[in-house]
Chain A
């Protein structure tokens, strides 16, 4: 049975990350940043990676990483979710890193070293909506040159290198190379912006002769650990709303004394408690290489995705008018939660996967 608790070291890691985010990533700063030409917070990324080594948690020590596990990465993601931090942690330090860990050979090892340091940001060139097990060979490779276009790639605008799946293998291509065009898109989630990436004769280096297993591994880890980010998002929504309804007075009482609101918040608390169990289970299964890690990740997404959305929607409603303003940060969490509900496969996609895994077949 999975270890569903947090170790003392994991709690220490959490406080360190939370302290950093409290100092460098408050809601007002995130809000001010999202409409600039630089929506990603490079300073914060540097502090998290250069300063704390967090980009290398999943990378073995001999490749310059920390040799830690998904359990620690999950704790980092909880905190990043709580702050809707605009950094490419999930995309680079989890999904791209996991995809590279599935590859053999020197090119992949070199890239892992670069990603572990955080000085290079790597992004798997697939739509954020892609689920583990999807076919992602929309780009064609011939003679080491790429042609094709991938839409809705998360954090593409801040990527230094793309990992591109094709029918003939997985390839790496530098974002700055000729023949690579990144076209930022107005994105529902302001704090994890998307872009289309067009390859028009870009030269590449091969990482693996078969893209499928690497992509599947990356997306499975992404889906599983996304649940921890969703937990952080949901927790912020709950805590912030509980604080607000204690302060806000109408009808000569704090609005939080009305049962109609108390019951909704208690219900939300139950869902946050459940989300934590599902997220820890997924992180532990990935960390221990459990044969059921695919099941654990699908279960976590099937539960956490709608739970985080509900938390954000309830937070907005229970804040009343102020929750509808651009000035109040709750919309950043709603947008993140809703985009996360599509990221790495919707809850429905994950339920369909579970139907196969636990033998509850469709009619």
Chain B
């Protein structure tokens, strides 16, 4: 039933029944979810129609043309991109019914409690403990998480914690949904080199999680987390970007508008980076065309690596191009931005913020290992931590 024409028809019928002009935003979004037009590749009853993912564009195009409100996907990216596929893949029917609808409408914001001060690239070494309270069956969680965006506005968190320290590190982890309003959850802003605090540290002290909020089996959290992390990387890329749409845009504009800043050295470097940025854009476009044609290739694994390097080099060049103005900074005031735009604000901010691009979501070094091993099939380094109980690992 779900070819493009039928979907277009369904969307129009939905719009006729719920005119965006006279329907409240919340009502509209809830009704859209219930009509299966939220994410068409999800199952019926959970916001979808079991249709191919590529057909979502048909719905979105119709809704956009009708001026319908959206669910502000940038604000709830972690819920949509990471929590939802994991709940869908591993949740019980009850969990799917409870969590997915308010997640998609944005009524409940989600955050991710994965990284720890002692577990970054080696995430599986995490030490936050979850201990079963035999009397109630609840889990009591203690530990510290870090680099948590949206923690201060989140209702729920996806959390991985150690439930069995006697097992090797990958085997003793369990995956939970954590209630961020629990009194044991303490969220503190984490100020970055840019001056602002996009992220938080989250301290967990005797946080109580009912067993009904466990996702997947006890000790199977690492497997469940792979779904989350895979979706994190998939959600990067896939957009059609115009020429000079990224970090190169502002510096190219400055170059054109302010000839007094130009030097020969900067010109050579700018042209090289312009070429690299335009080719990276074409690579992204080629990846998008592959996805649309249903031939996903391994190219996506590399996109983030390329963009991290480019963003850093281009913004570094921009600060230098500005000369005396490059010595200034727009504002060091500690703020908590709702949305983060790597290409926003001024050159100094862009330069400092982009330093994080090669660290967040997998460091460039780890991503190079992933490309080398999964794409090129090169052997992994000898491992000394595979069959050792977590409690015996060096830390």
A residues in contact (CB < 8 Å) with B: 1-5, 242, 245-246, 253-254, 256-259, 261-263, 265-267, 269-270, 273-278, 280-281, 299, 302-303, 351-352, 354-355, 358-363
Contact = CB atoms under 8 A, between A and B. Distances in A.
Contacts of A361: 256, 259, 262
Contact of A262 (B263, B290, B305, B378): B378
B283 A277 contact: yes
B376 A242 contact: yes
A262 B374 CA distance: 11
A280 B286 contact: yes
Main secondary structure of the interface of A (DSSP, over half): helix
Given A253-B382, A361-B256, 14 more contacts: A1-B240, A5-B293, A273-B283, A274-B283, A299-B275, A351-B271, A351-B272, A352-B271, A354-B271, A358-B252, A360-B274, A362-B267, A363-B262, A363-B267
B133 interface: no
B278 interface: yes
A266 B377 contact: no
A297 to B, nearest CB: 13
Contacts of B122: none
Q: Among the interface residues A242, A265, A363, which one has the most CB atoms of the partner chain B within 10 A? A: A363
A262 B368 contact: yes
A4 B282 contact: yes
B276 interface: yes
A263 B372 CA distance: 7
A251 to B, nearest CB: 10
Given A273-B283, A274-B283, A303-B276, A263 B368 contact: yes
A277 B267 contact: no
A257 B381 contact: yes
Given A5-B289, A5-B293, A363-B267, A277 B279 contact: yes
Nearest to A301: B275
Contact of B371 (A254, A258, A269, A360): A269
28 contacts: A5-B286, A5-B293, A242-B377, A246-B378, A256-B378, A261-B378, A262-B372, A269-B371, A273-B283, A274-B276, A274-B282, A275-B279, A277-B279, A277-B286, A278-B279, A299-B278, A302-B271, A302-B272, A351-B272, A354-B274, A355-B271, A358-B252, A358-B274, A360-B252, A360-B274, A361-B259, A361-B262, A363-B264
B136 interface: no
Contact of B286 (A4, A245, A265): A4
B377 A246 contact: yes
Contacts of A256: 378-379
A66 to B, nearest CB: 25
B280 interface: yes
A259 B274 CA distance: 30
Contacts, number: 126
A286 B285 CA distance: 18
B279 A257 contact: no
Contact of A269 (B282, B302, B365, B379): B302
A46 B39 CA distance: 56
Contacts of B95: none
Given A5-B286, A257-B381, A266-B372, A274 B280 contact: yes
A351 B276 CA distance: 11
A257 B380 contact: yes
B9 interface: no
B369 interface: yes
A299 B279 contact: yes
Contacts of B376: 242, 262, 265-266, 269
B222 to A, nearest CB: 23
B293 A265 contact: no
A293 to B, nearest CB: 14
Given A262-B369, A267-B368, A270-B306, A257 B289 contact: no
Contacts of B305: 270
A318 to B, nearest CB: 11
B53 to A, nearest CB: 19
Interface string B92-108: 00000000000000000
Nearest to B276: A303
A216 B293 CA distance: 36
Given A242-B378, A274-B283, A263 B365 contact: yes
A355 B372 contact: no
Given A354-B274, A359-B256, A281 B282 contact: yes
A258 B381 CA distance: 6
A362 B261 CA distance: 11
Q: Among the interface residues B256, B259, B278, which one has the most CB atoms of the partner chain A within 10 A? A: B278
B27 interface: no
A273 B302 contact: yes
Contacts of B382: 253, 257
Contacts of A299: 275, 278-279
Contacts of A359: 256
A289 B240 CA distance: 23
Contacts of B275: 299, 302-303, 351, 354
Contact of B381 (A259, A273, A278): A259
Contacts of B282: 2, 4, 274, 277-278, 281
A291 B110 CA distance: 47
A348 to B, nearest CB: 8
A1 B369 contact: no
B375 interface: yes
Contacts of B271: 302, 351-352, 354-355, 360
B14 interface: no
A79 to B, nearest CB: 19
A265 B302 CA distance: 12
A247 B375 CA distance: 17
B314 to A, nearest CB: 13
Q: Among the interface residues B263, B299, B371, B378, which one has the most CB atoms of the partner chain A within 10 A? A: B378
A256 B279 CA distance: 28
B240 to A, nearest CB: 8
Nearest to B370: A266
A207 to B, nearest CB: 35
B302 A270 contact: yes
A60 to B, nearest CB: 29
A265 B378 contact: yes
Contacts of A270: 302, 305-306, 371
B360 interface: no
B160 to A, nearest CB: 26
B368 A1 contact: no
Q: Among the interface residues A257, A273, A302, which one has the most CB atoms of the partner chain B within 10 A? A: A273
Q: Among the interface residues A254, A258, A278, which one has the most CB atoms of the partner chain B within 10 A? A: A278
A280 to B, nearest CB: 7
A355 B371 contact: no
